[in-house]
Amino acid sequence: MPKINVYLPDELAEAVKKAGVPVSAVCQRALEQAVRRVTAIRETALGTSDLDDLTTRLTHFTPRAREVIKLSVEQARALGAAEVGTEHLLGGMLSEGGNLALQVLGALEIDPEEVRRRLDRLSLDAPASTGTDEAELAFGAPAATVLEMTVTEATSLGHNYVGCEHLLLGLVAEPDGAAGRILRELGAEHRLTRHAVSAALAGYVHLRAQTRAAAPPPASAPAALPADAASALSAAVREELRPVLLRLERLEERLGTVDEA
């Protein structure tokens, strides 16, 4: 049987040893689940254009994430695109309007309206199309890669659902698509965005408890927050990110000093 090394932080490795957790069995089950999800994404992205079939096959996606994907396909068709691109996935996220990914963008001081303006300019610059047969419309390679990355981001964070915040991470990390380029130009660096997602999820649970609403466990998909709570969440996430931003600024200053030398 092939052997795969698993690297853990020192504290976690020690805790695993003390607890006697069966590492091989746990990792095998987690990897089996991840493989099933990624395989389902590949089959869905490459093999269907039926919206009902598309959304029902994404069983671990939250209703909001499935709605975002549905809207992205509809946008691609409305624009006469030859395939669903990363820009359509990002556009679907903006159009859905109530997902946690938008709160993360706000915490990163990225205005969703500026993102929308850049997407609009991108669609205006796209070559004219005579329309696409619905049966032929599928996800392009970058968009399919984003969906795969979305699943792996959720898995790496230990979440048993796939939400819009994971889709945002997939969009930021994918190197070739227009959406990732736009987000990175506006400041959504992958590591920083990942910190923002983690902080937003932690802040979400705290705020739900404060508002006396039923708070889901950390690994469950977050629902929408009231407007005032959403604003407080963005502020809390920005505060959580302040030390990270300061470290990045100091690193950039040191790198700049080296370049000038």
Which pLDDT score, from 0 to 100, does residue 11 have? 76
Give the helix ranges, DSSP H, for the chain: 10-19, 23-47, 51-57, 63-78, 86-96, 100-107, 112-125, 141-156, 164-173, 178-185, 190-210, 227-260
Residue 219 has pLDDT above 70, yes or no: no
For 135, the 3-state DSSP assignment is helix
All structural domains of the chain, each given as residue ranges with its CATH number in brackets, are 10-194 (1.10.1780.10)
Q: Which of 13-27, 48-62, 79-93, 157-171 has the lowest mean pLDDT?
A: 48-62
Which pLDDT score, from 0 to 100, does residue 35 have? 64
Q: Are 234 and 107 spatial neighbours (Cβ–Cβ below 8 Å)?
A: yes
Which pLDDT score, from 0 to 100, does residue 50 have? 58
Q: Are 116 and 55 spatial neighbours (Cβ–Cβ below 8 Å)?
A: no
pLDDT tens-place string over residues 167-200: 999 999 999 999 999 999 999 989 889 888 888 7
Mean local confidence (pLDDT), 83-97: 94
